[in-house]
Structure 1
Amino acid sequence: MSTDTLAEPRTRGLQERLWEAVTGRDEQAAARLVLDAVDEGTDPEAVLLDVIAPVQARVGTEWAANRLSVAQEHAASAIAERVIAALALHPRARARATPRLGRVTVACVDQEWHALPARLLAEVLTLRGWQVDFLGAQVPTPHLIGHLHSFGADAVALSSSIPTRLPTAHAAITACQAVGVPVLVGGAAFGPDGRYARLLGADAWAPDARAAAARLADGIPVPVPAAGRQQIDDLPHLGDQEYTLVVRGRPGLVREVMSQLEDRFPAAASYTEQQREHTAQDIAHIVEYLSVALYTDDDDLFTGFMGWTAAILEARRVPAASLTPVLDVLGTELKDFPRTTRLLAGARSALEAGGPLLRSTG
């Protein structure tokens, strides 16, 4: 077997054993499994990307299907992070980690708490010979720019998993470019094809850590700073102010939907206090995704989120039909906003179409 890749049966076996360890909250077993694999000749990068990363993706899938609780998902993720830290200290990993290339700053955008994808990239880049500054989760843009001023970088790699962070990512991209540092972005927030990376003016996008490392190795041209560049320069549709007004009105919109929900969806009358709290949180997320769809002017972003939400609710035995009155109330409250009306109508039609949308987003 090559030391650079894992044979498929062995990969599946390691994945299953690691899955059992992280879902069984057995950190020692998880660490022992990973370190033994490296001792036996498996390349550390292959362990990171072919074993740990797929298991973590499975954790998210199982949570969405309501087969793992939030606490179980958090525990599994915490174990994965500590296992990665242990792997980074393995002699074979340290031997590969002598910096011989440039310097890269890896960070999650502000308010992005899903740090594991960025951590995986940081470790892969370190193994490949980059000097890496890993800043971790939710890095405020001023702090990121302060770091660049203090230590410099040949490139910044920004990670975001949640599309609602795209406006913040946009601000971070333009700020880094303004100080002459190119930005590579990655993570689910930017779309499976990188469409939002292009929309927000990132210098490069990569779908995964291997592709990101290859793109950095090829070199990303240093951007020419554009004096006074604003987000509206990239997204002229923001000039209609719909995004700003919906963001500012979000608390009131959530209250209005909650006040009308029982009349439009009678089952809500029997909700417990906890169920009402969760419902308010769900509505807030819907308005948040509506806002970012207005920011990007992308109907698919909002429609896809509503389909995913419907699938999540169904997995938790909450009828997806409860989403329709939410869209109806929002449509009434925001009837004077043309783009918003279009987004809400499209999502409502997709939900009414039913099966195919829910299956594709489950």
Structure 2
Amino acid sequence: MTTTDTADDCAGLLWSAVRAGDEHTATDAVLEAFARGVAAEVLLLDVIAPVQRRVGAEWAANRLTVAEEHAATAINERVIAALTRALPRLEPHLGRIAVACVDGEWHALPARLLAEVLRLRGFRVDYLGAQVPTPHLITHLHRTGPDAAALSGSLATRLPVAHATITACQAAGVPVLVGGSAFGTDGRYARLLGADLWAPDARTAADHLAAGPLPLPRNGHQPIDDLPHLGDQEYTMVSRTSRLLVKALYTGLEDLLPVMRDYTEAQRRHTAEDLAHIVDFLATALYTDDRGMFTGFITWTAGVLRARGVPAAFLVPALDLLAAELRDFPRARGLITAARTDLLQVLGTGVSGTGDHHAQPHDADPGTAT
């Protein structure tokens, strides 16, 4: 049996184990494959990472609950820890890299995968974990002087924070590599936000960093230089009034759909959360000036709701109410109109939403990039 066959078998065993919540079997499967000669990097990126992506897909399809998804992710994290403990201690001979998640980003597993791959390649790695506040990250950079900062993001709604973090790192003289589904499957938001480098996955990120040091950031750079459209203040106004917008949408929907008045407390909470995600994604789409981001999120949400037996048609009046609230905001209305058109097509054909994974606001963690 080849190491490829062993890796494929291991992926199947790992999926069955995490699906069953069996940490011991999951750990044994990976460690046994390592003992049979499967490289640690292959186990990290071609076994554990695909299993984690499947966890996210199964959650979106309503075949895993949020609790089961969290348990599966926690098992994968402990499997990574067990594998790294089994490795011989490697002395770093390349540069120093700080790996962190953007503030507000709790999907830490993609960043952890990158950190471990970089260690295997010979880098000295400062892995800072999930939800790293930007001021603390900058303090760390000043204290340690790494060759680069690697920022991970899975939630598109954290892109404005990511932009500020990228700029702050560069102002500290540290080039920034970014990755993760939040930055787009083609890296479009990495380029838009002025990152020094983007990588679609951890292996590519490690290859880029191993090829040589990133160029030092340019001086005098300001976030507004990348996004002149922010001068219209639409993003600022929508983000600052998001709570009021959610309240207005919920009240308006109750008037249009009286059945909502009989919702349970849990149904009310979930509906309010869905409306908050809509407003947050609209704000982020205004920040990036990208219609596809908002349209993709709306159609993806329709698919997720349908998988849970929740009528997705309520999204149409929700968008209409949002457009009415933002009638004096031309860019916002354009985004809403485009999303409404695509949503009606999705609802009419019965096809699930087509939004990229970077659009998802929930607890799944499909990404394997930085």
Q: Normalising to structure 1: TM-score of the pair? A: 0.95
> Measured at CA, do residues 184 and 274 of structure 1 come closer, stay the same or move farther in structure 2, by a change above 3 Å?
same
Cα distance in structure 2, aligned partners of 1:255 and 1:226: 43
- Among 65, 88, 99, the alignment partner of 1:94 is 88
**1:317 aligns to 2:309 (yes or no):** yes
Match of 2:367 in 1: none
Cα distance in structure 2, aligned partners of 1:278 and 1:231: 34
2:254 and 2:260 in contact (8 A); partners too: yes
**1:111 aligns to 2:104 (yes or no):** yes
Partner of 2:194, secondary structure, is coil
- Among 156, 172, 180, the alignment partner of 2:173 is 180
Cα distance in structure 1, aligned partners of 2:6 and 2:322: 51
Cα distance in structure 2, aligned partners of 1:172 and 1:301: 21
Partner of 2:178, secondary structure, is strand
**1:277 aligns to 2:269 (yes or no):** yes
Q: Deviations over 1:314-361 (max 9, x none)?
A: 001111101011101100000000100000000000001114863534
**1:341 aligns to 2:333 (yes or no):** yes
Quick one: which amino acid aligns to residue 173 of structure 1? Answer: I
Cα distance in structure 2, aligned partners of 1:150 and 1:94: 28
Q: Deviations over 1:288-336 (max 9, x none)?
A: 0000000000000000000110001000111110101110110000000
Partner of 2:130, secondary structure, is strand
> Measured at CA, do residues 357 and 335 of structure 1 come closer, stay the same or move farther in structure 2, by a change above 3 Å?
farther
Quick one: which amino acid aligns to residue 31 of structure 2? Answer: L
Match of 1:201 in 2: 194
Quick one: which amino acid aligns to residue 65 of structure 2? Answer: S
Quick one: which amino acid aligns to residue 213 of structure 1? Answer: A
Match of 1:257 in 2: 249
How far did 1:42 drift? Answer: 0.9
Quick one: which amino acid aligns to residue 288 of structure 1? Answer: D
1:155 and 1:181 in contact (8 A); partners too: yes
How far did 1:14 drift? Answer: 1.2
Match of 1:27 in 2: 23
Match of 1:52 in 2: 48
Match of 2:230 in 1: 238
- Among 287, 295, 300, the alignment partner of 1:308 is 300
1:182 and 1:220 in contact (8 A); partners too: no
RMSD: 1.5
Cα distance in structure 2, aligned partners of 1:117 and 1:72: 19
Match of 2:140 in 1: 147
How far did 1:220 drift? Answer: 4.3
Cα distance in structure 2, aligned partners of 1:177 and 1:159: 16
Match of 2:324 in 1: 332
**1:360 aligns to 2:354 (yes or no):** yes
Cα distance in structure 2, aligned partners of 1:87 and 1:148: 28
Quick one: which amino acid aligns to residue 256 of structure 1? Answer: A
1:105 and 1:132 in contact (8 A); partners too: yes
How far did 1:267 drift? Answer: 3.8
How far did 1:125 drift? Answer: 0.4
1:171 and 1:231 in contact (8 A); partners too: yes
Identity of aligned residues (%): 60
1:179 and 1:225 in contact (8 A); partners too: no
Cα distance in structure 1, aligned partners of 2:293 and 2:247: 24
Greater relative contact order (CA < 8 Å, ≥ 6 in sequence) = 2
How far did 1:233 drift? Answer: 1.5
Cα distance in structure 1, aligned partners of 2:332 and 2:150: 32
Q: Deviations over 1:196-238 (max 9, x none)?
A: 00000000000001100011112243334423x3321210000
Cα distance in structure 2, aligned partners of 1:214 and 1:116: 19
Q: Unpaired runs of 5+ in structure 1?
A: none
How far did 1:123 drift? Answer: 0.3
Partner of 2:125, secondary structure, is strand
Cα distance in structure 2, aligned partners of 1:212 and 1:83: 22
Cα distance in structure 1, aligned partners of 2:196 and 2:100: 16
2:154 and 2:181 in contact (8 A); partners too: yes
Q: Normalising to structure 2: TM-score of the pair? A: 0.93
Q: Unpaired runs of 5+ in structure 2?
A: 357-370
How far did 1:53 drift? Answer: 0.4
2:157 and 2:280 in contact (8 A); partners too: yes
**1:138 aligns to 2:131 (yes or no):** yes
